[in-house]
Amino acid sequence: MGHRSESSWVPSVTLLVGIGNADIAALLLGADGRVRGDADMVFAGQPVHPSGAVRHKNGSLVLALHEVEAEVERIVIAGPAITGSLAAMAPDRAVVVAWLIAHPDDANAVVFGEFFRESGGWKFTGIGKGYASGLAELVTAYGVEVAEEEPVAAPMKKAFPGAMEKPVAEAAATPPAAAPANGPVPLTGVVKVPMHAPPTPGGPQATRGGAGAVGEPVAPDPSVFPPAEREYRLLEGWEFGPVFEPFVVTGTGSDVITTDARVPAGPVLVEVAHQGGGYFAVVPLDKRNKDGISLFSTTIPDYRGSTVTPAPEDRPLRLRLEGDNDWVARVKPVAAARRLEGTLLGYGEEALLYMGGAADLRVDFKGSPGGGGCVSLWVHEVTGQVELTHVGRTLALNTSGQILQTVPIPEGPALLLLTAEGPWSLTVRELGF
């Protein structure tokens, strides 16, 4: 997965940008920091920029950074004042921007952040500037002429119209087969796990903290994880563990969360993100309500990571989170983990699925921000359900400091659990025999 904070480089590719339930807009600015005309504002009522490089789609934005006109120096992302997270996803589904947003006091509209040119490439910086008078005041500050009889706020709905969609290149894939409404999930074909569908009565909801209690429902937050529906294929004989709607909780500081009935027993994917610096840890609680083996323990700023842990059969999965700032925790099917194909870039801990043949895996670990840092890789060979036992488990790598090393991995399917205190890249080279 990607790991970005303010003023960080982003790839010059097509990005899908979204902020939870907000219907957002883009302002394309010249060197003077102003739009060249009203056409440089892209929103629901004006969904495509004349250049075609910026498009509004289902409340989100598609930014083809490599196609943006040379005269455009900055792309401002703005919308209604909310608390949430701005996430930008590349075509390979890597999250390259993750920016947590706090609701500014007395603001009705916010500039969340901007993409800007630097040294021939693009960077992103978070802003979070609020405008008390709303969107009309915001867009006027960037040179958009607002007619009094045409309220600017109308196109920017706070109601989320639907799940964010993938860029056109991604959407061109073969449509997935629908899962049956009742009965078992098929072992072949494609299953879609909705990542951020609006909460419905009796349906999946995110909760805000509260020691695992039902709490006050809030609209699911994209946090720093891929905001689109993730498609994944089930292999015959391997169900990747249970399939269910994601369970999402947001909170601040230290807390205990308890999953609800949607999370069945079996191996599950746990994704977390923690804003800012300080210590952050996630520990499962056993049936005596005591700490188990830690899932995450880090001081990396703006941390994000994923791993796999078993959900117990006789009780809900309970997790103790210890942190100083805002965080998001997700419990999802193991099948929602990223696939290890070609070259993947990431930061920190991540669970990956490998489906290819026997291969050499090139590991490029950059080390921790302060130097040193540890990296390890466990490979779990899978037959049938995912099992996190010593059987079929191999410690392929365990070292410290910056490395560039090749390790062998067996034929998939396999679950890879990578732990790294810094940025890394993995490159698969199948043997072909």
Question: What is the tens place of the pLDDT at every residue in 127-176?
Answer: 888 898 888 889 899 988 776 544 444 433 332 222 223 333 333 333 33
Q: 343-347 and 359-365: which strand pairing? A: unpaired
Query: Which of the two residues, 276 and 20, has the higher pLDDT score?
Result: 276
| pLDDT at residue 28 in the model | 96
Convert the pLDDT of each residue in 394-429 to its tens digit: 889 998 888 899 999 998 888 999 988 878 889 999
Convert the pLDDT of each residue in 293-321 to its tens digit: 889 888 877 888 899 998 998 899 999 99
Q: How confident is the model at residue 267 (pLDDT cuts 50, 70, 90)?
A: confident
The dihedral of CA 125, 130, 135, 140: what is its sign? negative
Convert the pLDDT of each residue in 206-242 to its tens digit: 444 443 333 332 333 333 333 333 444 444 444 566 6
Residue 283 predicted with pLDDT over 90: yes
Give the pTM.
0.51
Element (H, E) at 333: strand 326-333
- Cβ atoms within 10 Å of 398's Cβ, excluding its own: 11
Residue 187 predicted with pLDDT over 80: no
Residue 360 predicted with pLDDT over 90: yes
**CA–CA dist 78, 156 (Å, integer):** 10
| pLDDT at residue 318 in the model | 96
| pLDDT at residue 21 in the model | 64
**CA–CA dist 123, 113 (Å, integer):** 11
| pLDDT at residue 383 in the model | 64
Q: How confident is the model at residue 35 (pLDDT cuts 50, 70, 90)?
A: very high
Structural domains in the chain plus CATH codes: 8-141 (2.60.60.30), 203-336 (2.60.120.340), 339-430 (2.60.120.380)
Residue of 334, 322, 314 lying closest to 382 (CA atoms): 334
| pLDDT at residue 145 in the model | 79
End-to-end CA distance of the chain: 30
**CA–CA dist 377, 3 (Å, integer):** 19
| pLDDT at residue 47 in the model | 92
| pLDDT at residue 259 in the model | 93
**CA–CA dist 412, 394 (Å, integer):** 13
Element (H, E) at 71: none
Contact by Cβ (8 Å): 187, 234:
yes
Residue 306 CB partners (closer than 8 Å, separation 6+): 1, 269, 270, 271, 272, 337, 349, 350, 351
Residue of 87, 85, 28 lying closest to 54 (CA atoms): 28
Convert the pLDDT of each residue in 318-346 to its tens digit: 999 999 899 999 998 888 888 888 888 88
Residue 335's SS3 state is helix
Residue 282 predicted with pLDDT over 90: yes
Residue of 240, 233, 224 lying closest to 192 (CA atoms): 233
| pLDDT at residue 225 in the model | 36
Q: How confident is the model at residue 122 (pLDDT cuts 50, 70, 90)?
A: very high
Query: Which of the two residues, 192 and 325, has the higher pLDDT score?
Result: 325
Tokens encoding 48: 């495509």
Q: 206-208 and 247-252: which strand pairing? A: parallel
Is the bond leading into 413 cis (omega within 30 degrees of zero)?
Answer: yes
Residue 274 predicted with pLDDT over 80: yes
Residue 178 CB partners (closer than 8 Å, separation 6+): none
CA distances from 200 to 26, 217, 225 (A): 29, 10, 21
| pLDDT at residue 214 in the model | 31
Contact by Cβ (8 Å): 406, 351:
no
Length of the chain: 433
DSSP states along 273-325: EE-SSS-EEEEEB-TTS-B-S-SEEE--TTEEEEEEEEEPSSS--EEEEE-SS
**CA–CA dist 385, 380 (Å, integer):** 11
Element (H, E) at 170: helix 168-171
Q: How confident is the model at residue 179 (pLDDT cuts 50, 70, 90)?
A: very low
* Tally: H helices and E strands in the chain: 2, 32
DSSP letter assigned to residue 157: -
**CA–CA dist 348, 376 (Å, integer):** 11
Residue 108 predicted with pLDDT over 50: yes
| pLDDT at residue 306 in the model | 93
Task: Identify the weakest region by mean pLDDT among 195-199, 281-285, 390-394, 405-409.
Answer: 195-199
Contact by Cβ (8 Å): 345, 364:
no
